[in-house]
Amino acid sequence: MAQKTWRVGVAGLGTVGGGLLQFLAERPDFAPAEGRVEVVAVSARSRSRPRTVDISNLAWYDDPVALASAPDVDIFVELIGGSDGPAKAAVETALRLGKPVITANKALLAEHGVELATLAESSGAMLLYEAAVMGGAPAVKMLREAMVGDDVASVSGILNGTCNYILTEMEAGGRAFEDVLSEAQRLGYAEADPTMDVGGFDAAHKVTLLAALAFGCAPSYAAAHVQGINDVELLDIKLAKELGYRIKLVAQASRGPDGVLVRVGPVLAPLDHPLAQANGALNALFIEGTRIGRIFLQGPGAGAGPTAAAVAADIADVMAGGVRPVFQAPAETLRPFAALDPSRSVGKAYIRLLVKDEPGVIAVIAETLAECGVSIDSFLQKPAPDAGGVPIVLTTHATPESVVTDAINRMEKLPAVLERPRLLRIARI
């Protein structure tokens, strides 16, 4: 019996799309299931743009929606990006026609996940998205498949390679954020408009998907509390290291008895912790299960090879015919989680102050913290780098975030404090 050929249409021919075309041209019979894969049609913004792969023998579509509905396309792969516009319209078209859809579009799923899952399940189409989180590391499959027999308590990790690269280079080279960001843009690690990455929004989209899979709820991107690395200063990176920590942008979703907390922000991780040791463009993730315990994944979070491999793995799943709910449960049963207020969370904190070089300042700060109910764990005072003031750094014992914020507000008003104190969380990992 002749092997079945699965005809694939690819919308989006950037780094990942080019890597996928190259791989499938070299390995059309890669999948364990019987059959082979052939890319038959593509769509992108520009037909004439120079590319590393030859597309002259493929059907070209200016409109990705037309590609999604093409009768000779069996599997539609969406690599355009963006939560709305052509990407959303093309995915919806393919799903309505009952075609399997594979996407790397975390923003689309984080903001329209339930809607698309409902459409997919009503038409019997598969909607797969392994490449949307952590590139080639199988974070989605781990939660969607391997962890279904467990109750996940939390997921936390480094989900944005651009931010991780910038923070790593700031520490290694002793350079300011703006300098490293400019270099990252020149090297192609950061976009011309880096807001989605450095603002924490890309990581928030990803952890929103992981939270939905981990807790069997609807993706709720609007409920995520997001802070980027824009305000991370080189001074904080240096002082944190002296205290035994490294600053990382960490995305976390944790479940409690009253709801779920989803947040992204810069935190201090102990130097000997795996997250602190994941440098450069690496991604890393902890999954905490009540039965299995703690699982750690690490791998490249982007790039042609790793992300294309994740897309290929989803193509193999389509060929094998295994059908699962798009998230952890049927779409009609998914409900948004009760979002927890981060100010109620309890943890250790890093506080950096810039104060006047005069007697009695430390005593006043300690008294203010004590009045607010904040207990000091460690203390570090550095020589004045210039005439502008003296940096003082302290870490606290575990304290409700609202209490620490109240202390920050009070210390900011002290006559000896020259600017609003800098607050960073210390990771509970």
Which tens digits make up the pLDDT trace of 351-375?
999 999 888 999 999 999 999 999 9
- CATH, residue 360: 3.30.70.260
The reply to whether 105 and 15 lie within a common domain is: yes
The reply to whether 290 and 165 lie within a common domain is: yes
269 near 240, Cβ under 8 Å?
A: no
Q: Does the structure show a pLDDT above 60 at 229?
A: yes
The reply to whether 367 and 261 lie within a common domain is: no
The answer as to whether 72 is a domain residue is yes
* pLDDT given at position 3: 66
Residues 6 or more apart in contact with residue 339 via CB below 8 angstroms: 220, 223, 259, 260, 261, 262
For residue 204, the SS3 value is helix
The answer as to whether 291 is a domain residue is yes
368 near 414, Cβ under 8 Å?
A: yes
- For residue range 249-263, list pLDDT tens digits in order: 999 999 988 899 999
H helix or E strand, kind and range, residue 25 = helix 15-26
CA distance 361 to 107: 47
From 111, 132, 153, the end of a domain falls on 132
The answer as to whether 100 is a domain residue is yes
The answer as to whether 321 is a domain residue is no
Backbone angles phi, psi at 16, to 5 degrees: -70, -45
Instruction: Give me the number of domains the chain comprises.
Output: 3
Question: What is the mean pLDDT of the segment spanning 373-387?
Answer: 81
The reply to whether 293 and 150 lie within a common domain is: yes
* pLDDT given at position 385: 60
- For residue range 268-279, list pLDDT tens digits in order: 999 999 999 999
The reply to whether 361 and 387 lie within a common domain is: yes
Question: Predicted confidence band at 322 (pLDDT cuts at 50, 70, 90)?
Answer: confident
Question: What is the mean pLDDT of the segment spanning 275-284?
Answer: 93
Mean pLDDT of the chain: 92
Q: Does the structure show a pLDDT above 50 at 281?
A: yes
The answer as to whether 404 is a domain residue is yes
Q: Does the structure show a pLDDT above 90 at 396?
A: yes
Q: Does the structure show a pLDDT above 50 at 33?
A: yes
The reply to whether 165 and 287 lie within a common domain is: yes
The answer as to whether 40 is a domain residue is yes
- CATH, residue 203: 3.30.360.10
The reply to whether 258 and 153 lie within a common domain is: yes
- CATH, residue 73: 3.40.50.720
Backbone angles phi, psi at 62, to 5 degrees: -70, -30
From 132, 156, 178, the end of a domain falls on 132
Torsion angle of alpha carbons 256, 262, 263, 264, nearest 10°?
130
Q: What percent of the chain has pLDDT over 70?
A: 98
The reply to whether 418 and 366 lie within a common domain is: yes
The reply to whether 122 and 149 lie within a common domain is: no
Q: Which domain holds residue 371?
A: 343-426
Residues 6 or more apart in contact with residue 38 via CB below 8 angstroms: 5, 6, 7, 8, 24, 28
Q: Which residues pair with 378 in a beta bridge?
A: 395
Q: Which residue has the higher pLDDT, 10 or 390?
A: 10
Q: What percent of the chain has pLDDT over 90?
A: 79
The reply to whether 69 and 28 lie within a common domain is: yes
Residues 6 or more apart in contact with residue 151 via CB below 8 angstroms: 289, 290, 291
The reply to whether 57 and 150 lie within a common domain is: no
* pLDDT given at position 191: 80
The answer as to whether 305 is a domain residue is no
The answer as to whether 330 is a domain residue is no
Question: Predicted confidence band at 135 (pLDDT cuts at 50, 70, 90)?
Answer: confident
From 80, 112, 132, the end of a domain falls on 132
CA distance 44 to 67: 10
Cα–Cα distances in angstroms (integers) from residue 111 to residues 25, 75, 210, in the given order: 33, 23, 13
The reply to whether 247 and 183 lie within a common domain is: yes
> 214: closest CA among 294, 280, 155?
155
* pLDDT given at position 1: 43
* pLDDT given at position 263: 96
Q: What are the residue numbers of the active site?
A: 206
* pLDDT given at position 247: 97
